[in-house]
Amino acid sequence: MAVIDINSEQELDQAIEAAGWLAGENTLVIIDYSTTWCGPCKVIAPKYDEMSDKYKDAIFLKCVGDTSPEATKLMKREGIRSVPAFHFWKKGAKIEVIAGANVEALENTIKENL
């Protein structure tokens, strides 16, 4: 499954709501918050893409915060203070947060919540 770009608060809210309707209430939604200038973000991005192919029961989203004012606003709303950051959602609620480019923690959290 491809990683879906999210560029605004409205897009994120719609994606989380749609996850319940399209894929079932217990669907795991993961969003990767990053920026274009972040080295660790660039390192983990291909791994995140691979996980989206490997874990097809989850929905993978990505927000690049410095690409638009709306994306920056979303990152502020979600309390992103450092990148990369990964937020995990289920049933419309945030259930987990991982800060940093920790591939092992990211994959373990996906496995635990599928």
41 is a catalytic site residue = yes
**What are the residue ranges of helices labelled H in 1-114?**
9-22, 39-54, 69-77, 103-113
Q: Given pLDDT bands bounded at 50, 70 and 90, which one contains residue 38?
A: very high
Separation between Cα atoms, residue 107 and residue 65, nearest integer Å: 23
Domain membership flag for residue 85: no
Domain, as residue range, for 39: 4-80+90-101
Among 6, 12, 31, 38, the active-site one is 38
Examine the pLDDT at 15 and tell me if it is beyond 70: yes
Concerning whether 63 is annotated as a catalytic residue, the answer is no
**Tell me, what CATH number does 76's domain have?**
3.40.30.10
* pLDDT confidence bin for 26, thresholds 50/70/90: confident
Catalytic residue among 6, 19, 41, 80: 41
